[in-house]
Amino acid sequence: MINVGIIGATGYTGAELVRLLGRHPQAKLVGLTSRTYRGEPYWRVYPHLNDYVDLDCEELDLVQLVSRTDVVFTALPHGHSMDVAREVLRQGKKLVDLGADFRLRQSRVYEQWYGVTHTATELLNEAVYGLPELYRESITEARLVANPGCYPTASILALAPLLCKGLVYQNSIIVDAKSGVSGAGRQFSLKGHFAETNENFQAYNVAAHRHTPEIEQELSLLAGAELLINFTPHLVPMTRGILATVYVNLKNYFDREELYTVFAEFYRDEPFVRVLPPGVLPQTKAVAGSNHCDIGIVSDSRTNRAIILSAIDNLVKGASGQAIQNMNLLFGLDETTGLMYPGLYP
């Protein structure tokens, strides 16, 4: 069994880790930390896990927690995983960080977008970006995995086949993405208040969202050249899900069947990416609660653009499910272990 500790276990991504790992046949939860709920039985924080998790929330004793584990998941705000990473690696254990501290390869870019000094720059070159569909082999050899953000996961999976094959004009990319309110986390804020979000559809952080450099970094690596994108996120009044609509200018015309073939071949062996048949478009409800990414493709002959739609559950494939997929790879398991479940519908 893999002994697992979770630091920051009572946020939404932490709760999804607990829910999924509680059913994982090769994982054992040995420590759940929380500053807010220390001493509380975990099920009192999340009643749906009553009888599934028999642990209390504990205050973080980093050295002691790491000594009990084989792998640590950090589900913390940016700026809080750097010291944790040092201690985990010092003790010879593995870390999957669900925060942003190790996603960006240049500390200068991290500090520019997050406003925090990076204090573990020596680990940036070692950290592996945890998108298994692109970096599977590197993940299996890693000690430190930087789990991707939710918007980047949906956006990169939507664009990877076209960029890898050089089929699009690189600086024509527009990503228009909508997310449920759980993406903002569990902390109390006016933005998450029911009266503010119900029957409301709003853009936020236009041209300034912190996931922008992460998306650009990974797309540039795929394209072999530095590129910039327009990225606009929106908040919609639902709990879970991201639907990203991506627009790109094609170098040559492809009809929808040809585009479907490009995507179907690229993701042929991927267990969690479902390329939908021509004429079928993804919807968030079809992936809610699952680790799947559904992709639909449209060819607009009038403008010679491809329109790619990508749907994920922001808390599963966009966070905790993907983190467990990475854990499986780190420990030589089939990456679908504990994750091959359909979405919840309706």
Please name which of 267, 250, 106, 81 lies closest in space to residue 172, comparing C-alpha atoms.
250
DSSP label at residue 319: I
Please name which of 326, 331, 251, 334 lies closest in space to residue 74, comparing C-alpha atoms.
326
Q: Which helix (H) or strand (E) holds 128?
A: strand 128-129
- Which residues are catalytic, by number? 150
Which regions of 201-330 does DSSP assign to beta strands (E)? 202-203, 230-235, 242-249, 273-275, 293-300, 305-312
Number of Cβ atoms within 10 Å of the Cβ of 284: 22
**CA atoms 135, 138, 139, 145: torsion sign:** negative
Cα separation of 194 and 239, whole Å? 11
The helix/strand/coil state of 178 is strand
Cα separation of 263 and 260, whole Å? 5
Q: Which helix (H) or strand (E) holds 152?
A: helix 150-164
Round to the nearest angstrom and report the end-to-end CA distance of the chain. Answer: 34
Cα separation of 85 and 297, whole Å? 39
Cα separation of 74 and 58, whole Å? 14
Give me the helices (H) in 165-301, please.
Answer: 194-197, 212-223, 256-266
Cα separation of 265 and 338, whole Å? 26
Sequence length of the chain is 346
Task: Tell whether omega for the bond before 346 is within 30 degrees of 0, i.e. cis.
Answer: yes
